Amino acid sequence: MSTATAPAPPDLATLSIEVDGDTPIGTLTLNRPDALNAMSPEMIGELVIAAGWLADRAPLRALIVTGTGRGFSAGGDVNWFKGGLDDDEHDLPSDVRHGADVLHQAIVDFRRIPYPVIAAVNGVAAGAGFSLALMCDLRIASAEASFVCAYGRIGASPDGGMTYFLPRTVGPAKAIELLLNDPLLSAEQALEMGIVSKVVPPDELLGEARAKAEKLAAKAPHYVRMSKLLVSQSLDNTLADHLQVERHGIADSMATEDVREGVTAFFEGREATFTGR
């Protein structure tokens, strides 16, 4: 009789995926510290690989996303843009159109992840790096973190889901104000706006994110998956359509062992232990 083993994460050059062997919690780390984890074409391509694995194959119940070194992510690699602008024979618009298409596929796949995704923002999150943080379900920031839309500083249109996630986080009026004024937000200012849920000292960031991940990983996976799906669809569905999705979601949950455990634990006056079945 063979024993199934958990699928190994992909081996990547600009990203690393670590899976804790004792708990169902993973960490995705952006790893171009010399460039403040700016998104080169190579990193963008690897984000698609990582997102697909995390959404479809990862044996996880929570994920932490963070960066190596002083930055979370400085966004698109401006050196790539400059190289294209300096080369008269280079079709930079075509290359950037393709790069945005690849990045956006990664964003779509990240949003398919059925378990909680927590951004542990360790430093600057600029441009598409800010978008990447906004893409996550929750954001915890180091006191040294900062947030900036950044696109207007070089006259480039926003991408990476910035104009989708930011209005849903701070509201449309505040989103356009942030995009046009383009301030550099401190971690505390981001907290006041609801962009992050907590600010902690730098040396406590990963521990705080880990504690939150462990708490969320203990919840019933069907409940988490449906909560994420329902909230993501709520602003686009009509009320009647959305109530139908809710109807099927709660009915399907009644077929899970986790609901049986949850109801039993409720009547026994104890905390439920959810297994994901």
Q: What pLDDT, in 10s, does the model give residues 205-228?
A: 999 999 999 999 999 999 999 999
Q: What is the pLDDT of residue 63?
A: 98
Q: What is the pLDDT of residue 4?
A: 55
The answer, yes or no, to whether residue 20 has pLDDT greater than 90, is no
- Rounded Cα distance between 234 and 251, Å, is 19
Strand pairing class (62-67; 117-121): parallel
| pTM of the model as a whole | 0.92
Could you tell me if 25 and 54 are in contact, meaning their C-beta atoms sit under 8 angstroms apart?
A: no
CATH numbers and ranges of domains, the chain:
15-217 (3.90.226.10), 221-268 (1.10.12)
Q: Tell me: the pLDDT tens digits for 126-157? A: 999 999 999 999 999 999 999 999 999 888 89
Q: What is the pLDDT of residue 22?
A: 78
Q: What is the pLDDT of residue 3?
A: 43
The answer, yes or no, to whether residue 112 has pLDDT greater than 50, is yes
- Rounded Cα distance between 85 and 89, Å, is 9
